[in-house]
Structure 1
């Protein structure tokens, strides 16, 4: 009859549990770091988008917005990338003197992200508007692109 080294088996099981715990913690920390990095990247993209609208950086805006993007605007109309870019750059630079995004929240779902926040913009005519927005991003070819948006006016 074979004898079992119960003390040795106990140490082995303890060692295996410890290794499994360390591996799971490392995977969890790596996933958390990736989520944090993606969240920071998406927040930075939103802030850069505000700068691009003010600066009239059409090429950058067109690169961020996917060709199949659409937006439900503040009047409830569905508009495409062609519609919005064409209108905003119809007279050269967009008629935006200042724009800022804040209260940004990012929820990640793999290669998709839902970003919500508040947008405060002032037109070149001095008119200020505030809205809550939702942008849906998709990671395509290794970079984030906004694929859908929606804006709701904040009534004072």
Structure 2
């Protein structure tokens, strides 16, 4: 269980950093083929759509995650977290996210994400 928590903690850090840095390559490594994401604007995108939107530079800065809660249930895990970031006009803002991960062929992959701001 501790190994899973350590691995998912690192994956969560990578996921948040990849959002901030538009790191399509890292997302390509950690997203399952069946990945879907609900965006803050309430749109639903599949893996290809998510990678396409990730390639666009983000307007927010200083994205960090806190209040992270990782729950492992066998080969499935749910990560709840809060984000803080700076908006394009310099204001501080917060959001929340829920990411679902599944162990597939011995590797944790993100299968679903829901982001609110």
TM-score class normalised by the smaller sequence: 0.7 to 0.9
Distance 1:74 1:54 in 2: 15
Structure ranking higher in helix proportion: 1
Residues 113-124 of structure 1: matches in 2 within 5 Å?
113-122=77-86
Contact 2:30/2:110 (CA < 8 Å) preserved in 1?
Answer: yes
1:127 Cα deviation from its structure 2 partner: 5.7
TM-score by length of 2: 0.83
Unaligned runs of 5+ in 1: 1-34
RMSD: 2.1
Structure ranking higher in strand proportion: 2
Residues 60-99 of structure 1: matches in 2 within 5 Å?
60-90=26-56, 93-99=57-63
Distance 2:87 2:54 in 1: 12
Distance 2:87 2:52 in 1: 17
Query: Closer, same or farther in 2 for the Cα pair 1:67/1:128, shift >3 Å?
Result: farther
Query: Closer, same or farther in 2 for the Cα pair 1:128/1:62, shift >3 Å?
Result: farther
Matched, 1:36 2:12: no
TM-score by length of 1: 0.64
Matched, 1:109 2:86: no
Tell me the matched-pair count: 117
Aligned to 2:22: 56
Map Cα deviations across residues 70-125 of structure 1 (whole Å, 9 max, x no partner). 112223322112222212314xx444432111111111111100110112233566
